[in-house]
Amino acid sequence: MTVAAATALRANPDRNFRYWLLTPAIFLLLLVGLFPLFYSLVVSFMRIDMMDTDTSFAGLYNYANMFKDKRLWAALGHTLLITVIALPIELLLGLAMAYLFLEKLPGRQIFISLLVLPTIISPIVAGATWRLLFDNRYGPINQVLGWFAGHPVTALWTINPHLVYPAIIFCEIWQWTPFMFLILLAALSNVDKSQTEAAAIDGAGFFRTFRRIVLPAIWPVMAIAILIRGLDLARIFDIIWALTSGGPGTMTETISVYTYAQGFKQFETSYTAAIAFLVIVILTIVVTWAIRRMGLAK
């Protein structure tokens, strides 16, 4: 602001002027944020499906259909399954690794950098890479297993119903455990050492010290990490799309994969909007509950 403008403002102290300055930014945010949300809500009450010319008001038709759609509920179940398995493993592994790297080790910085590498890879690229690694014909995983087994192994990792979930969860853990590790390492580094040393002098064991001193100290950070990863897992798409596309059949179809298939392969635009709102409602309830439960709202 020039000196002249500042003087003019002082001379005429219009308190609303600052709000006028903010208006374009607020308008832009509403335009790109809230408008699509409300428009999607409107679309979810219509009959738009890309191919048809009848786009009239459909009332609760799309929402009623969701309750009859077994594939949708199965997809939600698959998402939940992956989340409840992958999230605790990532948390425990990340915590263990963070403890390991808490000590001053030779080459610590280099190891930490290397361990974090999977996290910076695009998930779709990671998925495509793992698909190659799991390939039954040219993939090294079957080859290595074959060396141990003493005979060729032709495991169909992305087709066999007994192997496909372990494959997906393994990839997920491989890529995102470093994220947990990094955040928990930062949290552990900030734990007051005098308290843990005092506990050790008083004869407290590792688990007692962890439960009584370390966990309360790192809990706010750990809760945020759990929340972020939980939300990521709830919308898991890339790795599954690259590895199995939701197959075999619809066995690994998560809610994001199903929504994508409905929206961009089947062109069920209104139904997809309704699914998106169902997901928003479910996640809002879960996140609100989790925030209260974890004490993050305090």
Smallest gap, in angstroms, from Cβ of residue 201 to another protein?
58
Of residues 264 through 283, those in contact with another protein by CB under 8 A are 264-267
Smallest gap, in angstroms, from Cβ of residue 84 to another protein?
22
For 89-152, give the DSSP string: HHHHHHHHHHHHTTS--TTHHHHHHHHHHHHHS-HHHHHHHHHHHH-TTT-HHHHHHHHHHTS-
Q: Is 166 left (phi over 0), alpha (psi -120 to 50) or beta?
A: alpha
Task: Dig out the tokens for 251 from the structure.
Answer: 């066995």
Please give the angle made by the CA atoms of 181, 184 and 190, to the nearest 5 degrees: 140
Smallest gap, in angstroms, from Cβ of residue 274 to another protein?
15
Choosing from 7, 113, 129, 154, the residue that interacts with another protein (CB under 8 A) is 154
Choosing from 137, 151, 193, 298, the residue that interacts with another protein (CB under 8 A) is 137
- Which of 251, 290 has the CB closer to another protein? 251
Task: Dig out the tokens for 5 from the structure.
Answer: 């403008």
- Which of 195, 250 has the CB closer to another protein? 250
Quick note: the x/- pattern for another protein over 96-135, rule CB under 8 A, is ---------------------------------------x
159 part of the interface to another protein, by CB under 8 A = yes
Measure Cα distances from 13 to 17, 130, 269 in Å: 8, 63, 51
Find the part of the chain contacting another protein (CB under 8 A) among 3-11, 86-94, 153-161, 283-291: 153-161
- Which of 159, 279 has the CB closer to another protein? 159
Task: Dig out the tokens for 65 from the structure.
Answer: 């259909």
- Which of 195, 245 has the CB closer to another protein? 245
The answer, yes or no, to whether the previous bond of 152 is cis (omega within 30 of 0) is no
What are the residues facing 46 on neighbouring strands?
Answer: 57
Residues found near another protein in the complex (CB under 8 A): 50-51, 135-137, 152, 154, 156, 158-161, 247-251, 261, 264-267
